[in-house]
Copies of this chain bind each other. A is one copy, B any other.
Amino acid sequence: MEILERKLRSREQTRSDIMQTAKTIARREGWQAVSIRKIADAIEYSAPIVYEYFDSKDVLLSEVRNEGFLFLKEEYNRILKLYRDPEKRLYEISLIQWDFARQQPEMYRVMYNLDGAFCSIPVYQSDALQSVSDTVSAIIFSFIPKAKESIRRLYFEWWSLSHGMISLSMLLEDDQSPEQSEQIYRETMRRFIRELK
């Protein structure tokens, strides 16, 4: 059964190669330029092979997106271990959100269907997104122990503010410097958190 195991491992490897290639092309040329044939070329296979690993391009994109939310989740957990103060936690998580979007913009784009990235599978069906939402909601709750609906609402406000600034600063990248945007982001998130309690 060793062969089967190795086969499985190499299968997992190829699978992640495909996702990695998709991300690399997206980073260089944008998601609208990502095609099954280009991916196949890069991993030195013919196009139909990709369908051995992903049912469709849509599913491939949805898995990449999921990977993004899982990455965020782990980063958030890292923060939870580092800090105890809820305010500090929420602030640090806000900063991670920003850094993530800066360092892996193609990831952020596919997660929110921005700029040519289009995955028709609804994002709110992603378990990873739910998990991320729960983590942040829990922090807010430890902050302000209110009813479920209030927490949901405060989370929505936090998320909107963060996502709004990130996506607009992506949109205006050449019009407003990222450094300037980042400064505004930090101060605005800080103030939002301070005024939360």
Contacts and interface: CB of A to CB of B under 8 A. Distances in A.
Interface in A176-190: 176, 181, 184, 188
A8 interface: no
Contacts of A113: 114-116, 171
Interface stretch (A11-19, A47-55, A140-148, A157-165): A157-165
A124 B184 CA distance: 19
A135 interface: no
Interface string A103-141: 000000000111110100011100000000000000000
A85 to B, nearest CB: 24
A32 interface: yes
Q: What is the count of identical protomers in the complex?
A: 2
B161 A118 contact: no
Contact of A184 (B156, B162, B174, B195): B156
Interface string A36-77: 000000000000000000000000000000000000000000
A122 B164 contact: no
Contact of A156 (B163, B174, B176, B195): B176
Interface residues of A, number: 31
B171 A164 contact: no
A150 B167 CA distance: 20
A2 interface: no
22 contacts: A112-B171, A113-B116, A113-B171, A114-B114, A115-B118, A122-B174, A123-B171, A124-B171, A124-B174, A156-B165, A156-B168, A156-B176, A159-B164, A160-B161, A160-B165, A160-B188, A161-B164, A163-B167, A163-B168, A164-B164, A164-B165, A167-B167
> Which 8 residue pairs of A and B lie closest in terms of their CB atoms, listed nearest first?
A164-B164, A160-B164, A116-B118, A160-B165, A124-B175, A113-B115, A163-B164, A160-B168
